[in-house]
Chain A
């Protein structure tokens, strides 16, 4: 049984000058508890696709079902983490983290305690009452992660959440996110342009091509790597093999588009 399924999603952006076809015939399904990645060069429609799955953007054509129900019925089951943290600078970390429940009117004393607990677990106990400006990039992204997880979403959408971080912080956060998601048995869709990150974190990789955004090829991540933490996975021989295959495919894609 598929948890999330996309059927022939198509999206156009209209403007006075004309229109761009951002997505063409995207169909795939994600089983419950699995982690998939959408990999592709920038501009291939990854953010657009994720916004559509999140229900923020209405696709021009096609439909999406979440647990066999149309998307509109299940908004609060989805957590969305953006490319940057977008913490509100005028709210404290605690208030930032509990903004979801506030909007959904489920903010309670117990929930606040849960938020504090989660912030402590993730190593942010010292900054609970600070404002985002005083936090490092990694800390801010961790706070954004807590904000996404606090509403206990069944489906997690991650839009290049580590791309603005330095390499060391990025590796640490990959491990953290991966173990958290495994512990809570979340279903996740990660968007990235980083081949290594896609392989290290996911079960399945959808390679996308641009103009229009389309799924070009699907890679299954070997079972040996799936069960390792992202950091350990990067050292595995099969990681390197898959990396090379994806790399070649991306290069082939690039030269194809360059000729055209």
Chain B
């Protein structure tokens, strides 16, 4: 046995070191993938391995980025799309949760509405785009509606089933104290379903971006979705990819915010 005798605290230090080194290793790989992706892209486009006209190149996008940053048009378009997406996300998610609560409250209503919800859920919501736009007029309103409508039904269904899956014994505890329906909703059903709600937040971040970008495809004269369509029409794929990268970046940031929120709300995990 040539094992050195380690004290408890040394073992703990060793464990901590291992955890940090693993985390560093993961991060390293992520950076390597990031850098290689953009280098290969740049390289392939410089040497004509891919079509420059279609795939552009990171350096061209970067130049465009700096240009747009200076003339203020980056912020102008970004701000509109961001606002629409965040508004769509909140409206869709909150409306979904309220609908789920109404369904939970009324057994009868949920039974009656069940087939309609299933159909509505299966229906591709973006197909409603033209109708929404004609009905509400082209503008922010219909685009935000697109961002919201795409997530509201799925949120309703997921949150409603989470409400129903809460252990009845929690309700039993409260009923034994004479709690009203509203009281056991707020004290047990709602907080017990919080983890499920947070996971719908994560899904809805992505969905709202889809709804808003499609909405902008259809009508807008400003915003990132508009830039993508415009770039496509004038065959400026640098502009398309520039917009796409912005969307990806801000979607990732929104996702991070939701994760932070999760850590705050679910502290007893």
Contacts and interface: CB of A to CB of B under 8 A. Distances in A.
A229 interface: no
Nearest to B188: A88
A88 B170 contact: yes
Contacts of B58: none
A51 B168 CA distance: 13
A88 B177 contact: no
B10 interface: no
Interface in B89-131: none
B177 A99 contact: yes
Interface in B135-172: 167, 169-170, 172
B172 A88 contact: no
Interface of A: 51, 54-56, 75-76, 78-80, 82, 84, 86, 88-90, 99-100, 102-104, 131, 133, 147, 151
Contacts of B194: 90
Contacts, number: 55
Contact of A103 (B167, B183, B191): B183
Interface in B221-269: 266-268
Given A89-B268, A133-B268, A103 B179 contact: yes
B177 A76 contact: yes
Q: Which 6 A-B pairs have the closest CB atoms?
A: A80-B176, A100-B177, A75-B178, A131-B268, A103-B179, A103-B177
Given A90-B191, A90-B194, A82 B268 contact: no
A147 B172 CA distance: 14
Contacts of B170: 86, 88
A89 B193 CA distance: 12
A147 B167 CA distance: 19
18 contacts: A51-B172, A54-B175, A55-B175, A75-B178, A79-B176, A80-B172, A80-B176, A82-B173, A88-B187, A88-B188, A90-B191, A90-B192, A99-B173, A99-B177, A99-B187, A103-B179, A131-B267, A131-B268
B172 A103 contact: no
Contact of B172 (A56, A79, A90, A133): A56
Contacts of A147: 173
B50 interface: no
Nearest to B195: A90
- Max chain B C-beta neighbours (<10 A), residue from A88, A131, A147: A88
A133 B172 CA distance: 20
B167 to A, nearest CB: 7
B174 A99 contact: yes
Contacts of A104: 177-178
